[in-house]
Amino acid sequence: MWNEGPMIWTSDVLILLTSVGIIGVLTHFKKWKWLWDEWLTTVDHKKIGIMYLIAALLMMFRGGVDALLMRTQLAVPNNHLLTAEHYDQIFTTHGTIMILFMAMPFIFAMFNIVVPLQIGARDVAFPYLNAISFWLFFFAALLFNLSFVFGGSPDAGWVSYPPLTELGFDKGPGENFYLLAVQITGIGSIGTGINFLATIFKMRAPGMKLMKMPLFTWSVVAASIVIIAAFPALAIALALLLLDRVFGTHFFTMLHGGDPMMFVNLFWIWGHPEVYIVILPAFGIFSEVVATFSKKRIFGYSSMVASLLLISVISYFVWAHHFFTMGAGANVNTFFAVASMMVAIPTGVKVFNWLFTMYRGRVTMSLPMWWTASFVLNFLMGGATGVMLAVAPADYQYHNSYFLIAHFHQTLIGGTVYGLLAGMYYWWPKMFGFKLDKKLGMWAMVLFNIGFYVCFMPQYALGFMGMQRRMYTYPAGMGWGTLNFISTIGAYLMGLGFLFIVIEVIYSIKYGERDLTGDPWNGRTLEWSLPSPAPHYNFAVIPTVTERDYWWELKENNRTHELRPKAETLKSIEMPKNSARPFLMGVAFFFAGFGFVFHWLILGFAALAIVAAIMIHRALEVHDEYAVPVDEILETEAATGRL
Amino acid sequence: MSAQTGTSVQQQTVTPRHKHKSGKYIVGYLLSLVLTGISFSLALTHSMSFQPLIVVLVILAAFQIVVQLFFFMHVTESDGPAYHAMGLVLGLFFTFAIAFMSVWIMGFNSIVS
Ligand code: HEM
Ligand SMILES: [Cu+2]
C-alpha cells in the first residue's frame, strides 16, 4: 500500500474520495434508513437483480480499465509504462473480474429480474438463499478488489496454476485474495444455480408445462444444471490449493506425491463449463429478443430446447482441450477434440433457428435487436476459430498465442456481453419503468462493434505471427508493432462505446420514454402482462397458462382482461420478510476471507463462527413471512390502472 | 421453500411437504464425518500401499454418496415426477465422468515417470 508507486497512490486517493462522497451524499439526503430497509435487507428478487446489474456494470468498468491499461502497454514495442509484475497483476485481475465478477453477476441479474416474472411466480423458491448468494458475491468482489490497494494483487493468471501459485514461488497475499474471493463468490453461485432450478421446476404458474416455458427460462435451466455440476469442482480445486498455501499440505506440489497437473484438470472441469454457463443465458436472451422483434414465434422451439440441454451436457466433456499440449496420450486428445467439435452442432442449430425466425418476419431493429444481429456475425467467426482450436495437433501451434485471446474474446464479448447488453436493453423498462435512449444507444452499439473488430481481428494475425499471450512487452524487430497499435485503437473505441452507455443511462433517467403500458415492445411472455416496474408481489392473481407465448395469444384474441385482477376475488398474499442476516453473513465471510488472506487465523475462524451462529439463528426462526393485506393490493393495482 | 407455503395453494406444481426429523440429519452428518475421517487418516498415515489404498478410498467415496442420497436427499421418499430420477442419473453420470476421466487423463503421469 505504501510502497507501490504513484499509480496505486492515485487510486487510493480516488477510492477514498469516492467513499467519502458516497457517505456524504447518503447522510446529506438522509438515505441510510432507506438504503438499509429497501435494499440491503431485501429478499425481493427484482431488487436483488438490480443490485447484481449495478455491480456487474461497475465491474465491467473496472475490468475495462484494466484492459485499456494492458492495451496501452502493448501499443508500441519496448514500452515501459507498466512493469512486468504490474502487467501480470492486471491481466490476472482483468480475467478474474470479467468472468467471475462481471459475467456471472450479469447473468444472475437477468435470472433474478426475469425468471419469476416469466413463469408466473411471486418469488424464487428460496428468497433468503437468494439474498445470501448476492451478498456472498458482493463481498467477495469487494475482497478481490481490495487486493490492489492492500497487499498486492494476484499475478498468476485467472487460472492460477500451481506450482507458480504455491507458497515457494509466490509469497505475497495476492494469490490468497484470489483463492478466497473466488471461493466465496463460488459458494454463492452454487446457491443461485440450485435456487433457480428449484424455482423453475416447482413454481411455474398452473398449466405452464415444461414445453410451454419461454426459451430464456429454458436457458436458465440449462445454465443452472451446469452450475450445479461444475462449481463444486472449482471449490475443491481452490480449497486444496489454499490448504497447500496456508496449512502446508502437498496436494499440488511434487513433494509427497502431489501433482500440479491435477489442479489444471480440476480447474478446467469447472473452467470450460463456465464459459457455457455465461453463454447459455445469452442464447436464451437472443431467442426472446428475436421472437419479439420479428413478431413471430421462435422457429423450431423443441430443437432450441434440445440444443440448450445438449450443449449443457456435451460441454461438460470437453475440458481437456485446455491442455492438449500437456502430454496426455493421443487417445485422450482425440476424445476431447471430437467432443469439443460436437458442441458446434447444437450451436449451429440455434443460429439457424434465429435466422429462420427473422426470415419473413416483420423485423423491428430496436437496440436489443441490433446487439443480437451483431452477435450472430461474431459468433459465426468465434465458432469457426473455436473449431480450429479444437483440432488437437493444430492447437500445438495456437496454444497460448494471441490467436486464442482473439477467439475467446470474440465469444465472450461478442456472445456473452452482447447478449447481456441486449437483455439489459430489452428488460430495462420492466425493471425501471422507462426505456433507454435509442440514439445514444446506437452510438454506443456502433462504436463498441467497430472497436471490437479493430481490436481483435489484428490479434488473430498476431497469433499466427508468433506473439504469445501474457507478454508484457516485445522488441521492435518482430513486425508486431503496427497490428498491436491498431488493436489498441480498437480497445479505446470500445471504451468510448461503454462511456456512451453510461451517458445513455444518465440521460434516460431524466428524459427516457416512460413505459406506462408495461408492454413497450409488444412482448410475448408473461412478464409483459405486468405493469413496469412490477409490484413487489409480482402477480396479484397467479395466471393459468394454456399456451406457449401465452400473453401474445391473449393479445391476439383480445382476452388480455383475463389476466387483470378482480377486486372481489383478491386474497391476501404471503411474502417473505426482509432480513438483515444475509447481509451480515456476507460481512462475516468478508472478514473470514480477510483473516485467511493474511494468515490471521483467529480472525478467520472467529468470523466463520459468526457465520455458523447466523445459520443457527435462522434455523430457529419460525415466522419468516408476512401477509400483504388485500387493501394494499387493491391500492397498488389501482395505482397502475389495472382495477 | 418456506417462503412459498402461503402461495402454494395456487401453484399446481408444488408437491406436498414431508416432515423430516432432525435426528436423521444428525446421523447422516456424523456418518459422513466418520467416512471422511477414515479416508483422511488412511491417506495421512500411509498405512496402506498405493493400489489398495485407492480401492479403499473409492469404496469409501461410494458410501459417502449413499449417505448423502439417503440421509439428506431422501431418495426413497420421492413421489415427484420422473425428472427427479433423471436428475439423479445425470448427477451420477457427471460424477463418474469426472472421476474416471481424470484417472484416464492423468494416466500420462505414470508413463512419464
Ligand atoms: C474492452 C474489452 C476487452 C479488452 C480490450 C480486453 C483485452 C485483454 C487483454 C489485452 C488481455 C491480456 C492478453 C495477454 O496479454 O495475455 C486479456 C485477457 C483476458 N481477458 Fe480480456 N479484454 C476485454 C474484455 C474481456 C471480457 C468481457 C472478458 C470476459 C467476459 C475478458 C476475459 C479475459 C480473460 C479470461 C483473459 C485472460 C487473463 C489471463 O491470461 O489470465 N476480457 N483481455
Ligand atoms: Cu474450453
pLDDT tens-digit readout, A284-321: 999 999 999 999 999 999 999 999 999 999 988 999 99
Pairing assessment for the beta strands A573-576 and A625-628 based on DSSP bridges:
antiparallel
pLDDT (average), residues A357-371: 91
| pLDDT on residue A206 | 94
- Helix and strand counts by DSSP (H, E) for chain A: 22, 2
| pLDDT on residue A288 | 96
Say whether A574 and B6 touch across the interface (CB within 8 A).
yes
The C-alpha cell at A565 is 385482477
**What DSSP string runs through A232-258?**
HHHHHHHHHHHHHHHH---SSSTGGG-
CA-CA-CA-CA dihedral for A195, A199, A200, A204, to nearest 10: 180
| pLDDT on residue B110 | 64
> In this complex, which of B7, B83, B109 lies closest to A259 when CB atoms are compared?
B109
Over residues A134-156, the pLDDT tens digits come to 999 999 999 999 998 888 899 99
For residue A116 and ligand 1, the question of a CB distance below 6 A is answered with no
pLDDT (average), residues A393-421: 95
Q: Of A177-186, A498-507, B64-73, which gets the smallest average pLDDT? A: B64-73
A460 contact partners, CB below 8 Å, separation of at least 6: A385, A402, A403, A406, A407
Q: What is the mean pLDDT of chain A?
A: 93
A631 contact partners, CB below 8 Å, separation of at least 6: none
pLDDT (average), residues A484-509: 96
Distance from CA of B108 to the nearest CA of A (A): 5
For residue A469 and ligand 1, the question of a CB distance below 6 A is answered with yes
pLDDT (average), residues A333-360: 92
Distance B36 CA to ligand 2 centre (A): 32
- Burial class of B76 by CB neighbour count within 10 A (0 to 12, 13 to 18, 19+): exposed
Q: Are A189 and A137 in contact (CB under 8 A)?
A: yes
> Between B50-67 and B22-45, two packed helices, what is the crossing angle to 10 degrees?
170
Element holding A573 (H helix, E strand): strand A573-576
Distance from CA of A149 to the nearest CA of B (A): 38
CA-CA-CA-CA dihedral for A401, A404, A406, A410, to nearest 10: -170
* pLDDT exceeds 90 at position A535: yes
Q: How far apart are CA B4 and CA A574, in angstroms?
A: 7
Residue located via cell numbers 472467529: A606
| pLDDT category of residue A468 using cuts at 50, 70 and 90 | very high
Q: How far apart are CA A541 and CA A537, in angstroms?
A: 10
Q: What are the chain A neighbours of B111 within 8 Å (beta carbons)?
A: 329
> Of A79-88, A141-150, A189-198, A333-342, which one has max mean pLDDT?
A189-198
- Helix and strand counts by DSSP (H, E) for chain B: 4, 0
* Closest to B87 (Cα-Cα) out of A541, A200, A90: A200
* pLDDT exceeds 60 at position A2: no
Over residues A562-619, the pLDDT tens digits come to 888 888 888 899 999 999 999 999 999 999 999 999 999 999 999 999 999 999 999 8
Distance from CA of B91 to the nearest CA of A (A): 7
Q: Are A597 and A558 in contact (CB under 8 A)?
A: no
| pLDDT on residue B9 | 37
| pLDDT category of residue A88 using cuts at 50, 70 and 90 | very high
Q: What are the chain B neighbours of A121 within 8 Å (beta carbons)?
A: 11
* Closest to A346 (Cα-Cα) out of A299, A306, A375, A289: A306
Q: What are the chain A neighbours of B12 within 8 Å (beta carbons)?
A: 206-207
pLDDT (average), residues A91-107: 96
Q: Are A141 and A4 in contact (CB under 8 A)?
A: no
| pLDDT on residue B69 | 85
* Closest to A288 (Cα-Cα) out of A548, A552, A109, A524: A524
Say whether B6 and A627 touch across the interface (CB within 8 A).
yes
Over residues A236-279, the pLDDT tens digits come to 999 999 999 988 889 999 887 788 999 999 999 999 999 999 99
| pLDDT on residue B7 | 40
Over residues A40-56, the pLDDT tens digits come to 999 999 999 999 999 99
User: Which one of the ligands is nearest to A318 CA?
Assistant: 2
Backbone angles phi, psi at A149, to 5 degrees: -110, -5
Element holding A628 (H helix, E strand): strand A625-628
Share above pLDDT 70 across residues of chain B, in percent, rounded to a whole number? 70
Please calculate the CA angle A509-A514-A518 and round it to the nearest 5 degrees: 125
Backbone angles phi, psi at A14, to 5 degrees: -60, -45
Say whether A202 and B6 touch across the interface (CB within 8 A).
no
Asked whether the CA dihedral A147, A148, A151, A155 is positive or negative, the reply is positive
Asked whether the CA dihedral A515, A521, A527, A528 is positive or negative, the reply is positive
> In this complex, which of B2, B10, B112 lies closest to A542 when CB atoms are compared?
B10
pLDDT (average), residues A46-67: 95
Q: Are A317 and A339 in contact (CB under 8 A)?
A: yes
ipTM tops the 0.85 cut = no
> Of A25-29, A344-348, A511-515, A605-609, which one has max mean pLDDT?
A605-609
Q: Are A69 and A97 in contact (CB under 8 A)?
A: no
| CA A532 vs CA A86, A114, A637: distances in Å | 46, 12, 12
| pLDDT on residue A330 | 87
Interface check B49 vs A, CB under 8 A: no
| pLDDT category of residue A432 using cuts at 50, 70 and 90 | very high
Residues of chain B with pLDDT under 70: 1-21, 76-83, 109-113
| pLDDT category of residue A18 using cuts at 50, 70 and 90 | confident
Interface test with B, best of A199, A201, A569 (most B CBs within 10 A): A201
> In this complex, which of A233, A328, A573 lies closest to B7 when CB atoms are compared?
A573
Interface check B91 vs A, CB under 8 A: yes
* Minimal-distance CA residue to ligand 1 atom 9: A67
* pLDDT exceeds 90 at position A442: yes
